[in-house]
Amino acid sequence: MSGAPVKFQARKTVEQVEEGNDLAPKFDDRGLIAVVTTDATSGELLMQGYMNAEALQLTISTGEAHYYSRSRNVLWHKGATSGLVQTVQELLVDDDQDCVWLRVDVTGGASCHVGYRSCFYRKVPVAGDFEAKQSEGHVALEWTETEKVFDPDEVYGDAPNPTVL
């Protein structure tokens, strides 16, 4: 843990936010900022989540990804339960600073609570492919990963599933 508390600048002008070097993140009316997390080596999208201010400060100061769980309403040090810690290689902000991009190395090689490497293991056919495969407007998801990296029952035990219907 770093000794210095991470501080943010106030958002004053569009030019400051878009073209300056002030770190002035925009948290929404829930106090959250969107986060995109990719594998630093493969470039694969691992997950999309949210941070509150504290999670962003801890991620910057410790170099390990922290999120805010909307389903559990808690600060969430990724890997605290599963051991699948994400070590941040690069942390980037977007033009209007309402999104954070983490490029991470993942201990254990998996980031998805279902047990897959990435949370994105199914795809939707689009355009002509959709047209060819659809039936009355419905189309089946197609798997892009077939083998789980870990057994979620072993890793999470009785912890409640975070998916909300």
Q: How far is the CB of 108 from a copy of itself (least distance, A)?
A: 17
16 vs 75, beta carbon nearer a copy of itself:
16
Q: How far is the CB of 83 from a copy of itself (least distance, A)?
A: 19
Q: Supply 73's token pair.
A: 């309403």
Q: Is the distance from CB of 55 to CB of 48 less than 8 angstroms? A: no
- Give the strand pairing for 142-143 and 33-39: unpaired
Return the SS3 of 154.
helix
101 vs 156, beta carbon nearer a copy of itself:
101
Q: Is the distance from CB of 99 to CB of 93 less than 8 angstroms? A: yes
Q: How far is the CB of 153 from a copy of itself (least distance, A)?
A: 13
- Give the strand pairing for 99-106 and 33-39: parallel
74 vs 130, beta carbon nearer a copy of itself:
130
